[in-house]
Amino acid sequence: MAMSFELPEEALSETFLAASGPGGQNVNKVATACQLRCEVFKLGLAPDVYQRLKTLAGSRMTSAGEIVITARKYRMQEANREDARARLAELIERAHVRQAKRVRTRPSRAAKAKRVEAKRQRKAVKEGRGKVKLD
Protein backbone atom coordinates (compact mmCIF):
# COMPACT_ATOMS: atom_id res chain seq x y z
CA MET A 1 0.00 0.00 0.00
CA ALA A 2 1.13 3.55 -0.68
CA MET A 3 0.74 4.97 2.83
CA SER A 4 3.07 3.63 5.53
CA PHE A 5 1.75 3.86 9.09
CA GLU A 6 4.38 4.64 11.73
CA LEU A 7 3.87 2.66 14.95
CA PRO A 8 4.54 4.66 18.15
CA GLU A 9 6.81 2.70 20.53
CA GLU A 10 4.83 3.70 23.66
CA ALA A 11 1.76 1.87 22.29
CA LEU A 12 3.67 -1.41 21.80
CA SER A 13 4.83 -4.11 24.18
CA GLU A 14 6.61 -7.32 23.22
CA THR A 15 7.09 -10.65 24.91
CA PHE A 16 9.05 -13.56 23.54
CA LEU A 17 7.87 -17.12 24.04
CA ALA A 18 8.90 -20.59 23.01
CA ALA A 19 7.68 -21.32 19.50
CA SER A 20 6.11 -24.57 18.39
CA GLY A 21 6.92 -26.52 15.26
CA PRO A 22 10.23 -27.46 13.64
CA GLY A 23 13.59 -26.38 15.06
CA GLY A 24 14.95 -29.37 16.93
CA GLN A 25 16.52 -28.70 20.33
CA ASN A 26 16.67 -24.99 19.51
CA VAL A 27 12.87 -24.70 19.75
CA ASN A 28 12.94 -26.04 23.32
CA LYS A 29 15.78 -23.77 24.50
CA VAL A 30 15.20 -20.39 22.88
CA ALA A 31 12.17 -18.10 23.10
CA THR A 32 11.96 -17.09 19.45
CA ALA A 33 8.22 -16.46 18.93
CA CYS A 34 7.19 -12.83 19.37
CA GLN A 35 3.89 -11.74 20.88
CA LEU A 36 3.28 -8.10 20.04
CA ARG A 37 0.61 -6.15 21.93
CA CYS A 38 -0.57 -2.78 20.69
CA GLU A 39 -2.80 -0.44 22.71
CA VAL A 40 -5.14 0.88 20.02
CA PHE A 41 -6.22 3.96 22.01
CA LYS A 42 -2.63 5.25 22.08
CA LEU A 43 -2.56 5.30 18.25
CA GLY A 44 -4.98 8.23 18.11
CA LEU A 45 -7.12 6.84 15.29
CA ALA A 46 -10.25 8.44 13.88
CA PRO A 47 -13.51 6.76 15.02
CA ASP A 48 -14.28 5.29 11.57
CA VAL A 49 -10.71 3.93 11.23
CA TYR A 50 -11.00 2.43 14.74
CA GLN A 51 -14.26 0.66 13.81
CA ARG A 52 -12.70 -0.80 10.64
CA LEU A 53 -9.61 -1.88 12.61
CA LYS A 54 -11.83 -3.59 15.19
CA THR A 55 -13.61 -5.49 12.40
CA LEU A 56 -10.39 -6.44 10.61
CA ALA A 57 -8.62 -7.53 13.81
CA GLY A 58 -11.50 -9.77 14.88
CA SER A 59 -10.43 -12.16 17.64
CA ARG A 60 -6.93 -10.62 17.72
CA MET A 61 -8.40 -7.60 19.53
CA THR A 62 -9.02 -7.95 23.26
CA SER A 63 -11.86 -6.36 25.21
CA ALA A 64 -9.27 -4.03 26.78
CA GLY A 65 -8.59 -2.52 23.35
CA GLU A 66 -5.31 -4.28 22.61
CA ILE A 67 -4.37 -6.04 19.40
CA VAL A 68 -2.32 -9.19 20.02
CA ILE A 69 -0.23 -10.54 17.16
CA THR A 70 1.88 -13.66 17.57
CA ALA A 71 4.66 -14.28 15.04
CA ARG A 72 6.44 -17.63 15.03
CA LYS A 73 7.21 -18.12 11.35
CA TYR A 74 10.99 -17.74 11.67
CA ARG A 75 13.62 -19.39 13.85
CA MET A 76 15.18 -16.09 14.90
CA GLN A 77 13.73 -13.75 17.48
CA GLU A 78 14.52 -10.58 15.51
CA ALA A 79 12.91 -11.92 12.32
CA ASN A 80 9.71 -12.79 14.21
CA ARG A 81 9.75 -9.35 15.83
CA GLU A 82 9.94 -7.64 12.43
CA ASP A 83 7.23 -9.94 11.04
CA ALA A 84 4.85 -9.09 13.91
CA ARG A 85 5.43 -5.34 13.49
CA ALA A 86 4.96 -5.56 9.71
CA ARG A 87 1.69 -7.49 10.14
CA LEU A 88 0.40 -4.94 12.65
CA ALA A 89 1.33 -2.00 10.40
CA GLU A 90 -0.37 -3.70 7.43
CA LEU A 91 -3.53 -4.28 9.49
CA ILE A 92 -3.66 -0.62 10.53
CA GLU A 93 -3.02 0.53 6.95
CA ARG A 94 -5.92 -1.63 5.72
CA ALA A 95 -8.15 -0.02 8.37
CA HIS A 96 -7.33 3.42 6.90
CA VAL A 97 -8.73 2.42 3.49
CA ARG A 98 -12.33 3.57 3.17
CA GLN A 99 -14.67 1.50 1.03
CA ALA A 100 -16.24 3.39 -1.86
CA LYS A 101 -19.94 4.09 -1.34
CA ARG A 102 -22.13 2.00 -3.62
CA VAL A 103 -24.30 4.08 -5.89
CA ARG A 104 -27.67 2.39 -6.34
CA THR A 105 -28.80 2.04 -9.92
CA ARG A 106 -32.20 1.16 -11.36
CA PRO A 107 -32.79 -1.02 -14.39
CA SER A 108 -34.00 0.86 -17.46
CA ARG A 109 -37.47 0.32 -18.91
CA ALA A 110 -35.94 -1.64 -21.82
CA ALA A 111 -34.04 -3.90 -19.38
CA LYS A 112 -37.25 -4.61 -17.45
CA ALA A 113 -39.14 -5.41 -20.69
CA LYS A 114 -36.32 -7.71 -21.80
CA ARG A 115 -36.43 -9.57 -18.46
CA VAL A 116 -40.22 -9.98 -18.61
CA GLU A 117 -39.99 -11.25 -22.20
CA ALA A 118 -37.35 -13.80 -21.21
CA LYS A 119 -39.64 -14.99 -18.40
CA ARG A 120 -42.52 -15.34 -20.86
CA GLN A 121 -40.42 -17.46 -23.18
CA ARG A 122 -39.22 -19.64 -20.31
CA LYS A 123 -42.86 -20.08 -19.19
CA ALA A 124 -43.79 -21.25 -22.68
CA VAL A 125 -40.96 -23.81 -22.69
CA LYS A 126 -42.03 -25.17 -19.31
CA GLU A 127 -45.71 -25.30 -20.29
CA GLY A 128 -44.71 -27.46 -23.26
CA ARG A 129 -43.32 -30.02 -20.79
CA GLY A 130 -46.70 -30.61 -19.12
CA LYS A 131 -48.55 -33.92 -19.04
CA VAL A 132 -49.92 -35.09 -22.36
CA LYS A 133 -53.74 -35.11 -22.39
CA LEU A 134 -55.38 -37.93 -24.32
CA ASP A 135 -58.86 -36.73 -25.34
pLDDT tens digits along 27-67: 677 788 888 888 888 888 888 888 888 888 888 888 888 88
Give the separation between CA 107 and CA 80, rounded to whole angstroms: 53
Specify the pTM.
Answer: 0.64
Examine the pLDDT at 2 and tell me if it is beyond 60: no
Backbone φ and ψ for 38, nearest 5 degrees, come out as -125, 125
Domains of the chain are 9-96 (3.30.160.20)
